[in-house]
Structure 1
Amino acid sequence: MADIKAWDTYAQQKPERRPTNARGETTWFNWTQYPDHGPGAEVLGIGPGGSALDLGCGKGGNLAHVAALGARAVGVDVSLAQLKAAEARWSDTGMVLHRTDAARFLAESGEDFDAVYSVFGAVWFTDPDVLLPAIRRRLRPGGVLAFSHRPPVEGCYGCQASYINRSEDQDPLVVKRWDYEPHRWVEILREHGFPAATARVLPAPPGPRTVGTLLVRAQG
């Protein structure tokens, strides 16, 4: 229940995706915390007739782009506020949304996917020893797992506390996240049956902010 409250609170704070990106596109894929920066959906290697699962789909911007590519687009999120926002904006895309946590959906769903991804989402906020085996079982042979999140703070690895602020007179809400350096993510993925794994930090674009984005990709 605490995590659901935290993510509903986060949904209220997170701004809506712009109507179009810098190229004038109404749907697009963004792995980083910066607009118009970094690679796109080509990381997933999916297209018409494929299927992709977004773990922690939030307000559905990336999932809408997957649907626009002609793939079956399935999203999972624990936050009703996030899913309502996704439905309000992207109801005509054909995306399929489920309100549940990632591990439970993977355990209970009988559907397999060509790609599973998470953008600052459930892969960051779920114990990899629980989530990665569940993903592996639902990923088709040769399928892609990809995820992104902020790089870890030096010396702070493994399970960490992540804070979602509220009003000044309320304590922040706390959720768990799992932080690892790129080489350690590769090792963890190999330990869980993903032999072809890469991880790199995408530098921040020119400007005052310097924190990059950790992007991890693996094939089953």
Structure 2
Amino acid sequence: MTETKAWDTYSKRKPERRATNAAGETTWFNWTQYPDHGPGAEVLGVGPGSAVLELGCGKGGNLAHITTLGARAVGFDMSLAQIKAADARWTDAGMVLHRTEATRFLEDSGEYFDAVFSVFGAVWFTDPEVLLPLIRKRLRPGGVLAFSHRPAIEGCYGCQASYINRSEDEDPLVVKRWDYEPERWEKILAEQGFTTASAKVLPAPPGPRKVGTLLVRAHA
């Protein structure tokens, strides 16, 4: 219940995705916390006929872009506010959206996917020892798992507290997240049976902000 409230709160605070990006496109894929920066959907290697799952789809911007590639796009989020926002903006995109939790969806789903991805989403906020085996079972042989989030703070690894602020008169809500260095992510994925695991920190774009983005990719 606390986590659901936290993500509903986050939905209210997170600004809407712009109508178009710098290239004038109405849909696009963004792995990083910076606009018009970093690689795109090519990381997933999907196209017409592919089945793609997003873990923690938020307001659906990345998932909507997946539909333009001719792929079946499925996403879920714990927050009803996020799901409603995604459905309202991308009504005609043809996405399949669910309000649920990551491990529950993966345990209950009978569908297999060519790619599973998470952008600052459920992979960051779920114990990888629990989540990764479930993801691997839902991926077709050779399927891609890719995810991104902020890099770990030096010396702060494993389960951490992540705070979601509310009003000035309310204490922040707390959810758990899992932070690891790139080399540790590669080892964890290998231990869970994934192959060709690679993890790297994408530098921030030129400007005052210096925190990059961790991008991880592996095959089932």
TM-score of the pair, normalised by structure 1:
1.00
Q: Does 2:20 match 1:20?
A: yes
> What does residue 219 of structure 1 align with?
219
Deviations 1:146-186 (A, max 9, x none): 00000000000000000000111100000000000000000
For residues 48 and 24 of structure 1, what CA distance do their matches in structure 2 show? 23
Distance 1:151 1:136 in 2: 23
Gaps of 5+ in 2: none
Instruction: Output the CA distance in 2 between the equivalents of 1:55 and 1:131.
Output: 11
Query: 2: CA distance between counterparts of 1:100 and 1:86?
Result: 14
1:196 Cα deviation from its structure 2 partner: 1.3
In the other structure, the counterpart of 1:85 is 85
Indicate the residue corresponding to 1:134 in structure 2: 134
* Alignment length (residue pairs): 220
Supply the distance in 2 between the matched residues of 1:135 and 1:98 (Cα, whole angstroms): 17
Corresponding residue SS for 2:218: strand
Matches within 5 A, 1:158-197: 158-197=158-197
TM-score normalised according to structure 2 size: 1.00
Superposed displacement of residue 65, structure 1: 0.2
Q: Which residue of 1 aligns with 2:108?
A: 108
Paired with 2:41 and 2:175, the residues of 1 have a C-alpha distance of 28
Q: How well do the aligned residues superpose, as a CA RMSD in angstroms? A: 0.4
Unaligned runs of 5+ in 1: none
Percentage of identical aligned residues: 79
- TM-superposed CA distance for 1:35, in Å, is 0.1
User: Which deviations, in whole Å up to 9, do the C-alpha atoms of 1:99-125 show, x marking residues without a partner?
Assistant: 001111000000000000000000000
AA in 1 matched with 2:204:
A
Partners in 2 of 1:2 and 1:208 — Cα distance? 34
